[in-house]
Amino acid sequence: MEKDASTICKELGENLRKQREKIRLTQLEVAKKAGLDVNYYARIERGLGNPSYVKLYSIMKALKIESLKIK
């Protein structure tokens, strides 16, 4: 069964939030490290944003994520 874009964005946001909380960073800290506006980053975590590959890569670096697992 194919997932729609909304579901994918929500799952991505949830995974990013879990990792951020695991390494004990605030949304503001992640946004600054990734070079993003904090409101934009918060939207991504809530599943409302669809970041480009470049922005996602910056977020991954800020969160110390080496690779993404896609289900």
Domain ranges of the chain: 5-62
- Write the DSSP assignment of 7-69 as a string of letters: HHHHHHHHHHHHHHHHTT--HHHHHHHHT--HHHHHHHHTT-----HHHHHHHHHHTT-----
Which pair of structure tokens corresponds to residue 14?
A: 């949830």
pLDDT surpasses 90 at 7: yes
Neighbours of 38 (CB within 10 A): 14
pLDDT surpasses 70 at 70: no
pLDDT surpasses 90 at 67: no
Per-residue model confidence as pLDDT tens digits over 15-50: 999 999 999 999 999 999 999 999 999 999 999 999
pTM more than 0.85: yes
Residue type for position 35: G
Q: Helix (H, G, I), strand (E, B), or coil: what is residue 1?
A: coil
The domain 5-62 is classified under which CATH number: 1.10.260.40, 1.10.645.10, 1.10.600.10, 3.10.150.10? 1.10.260.40
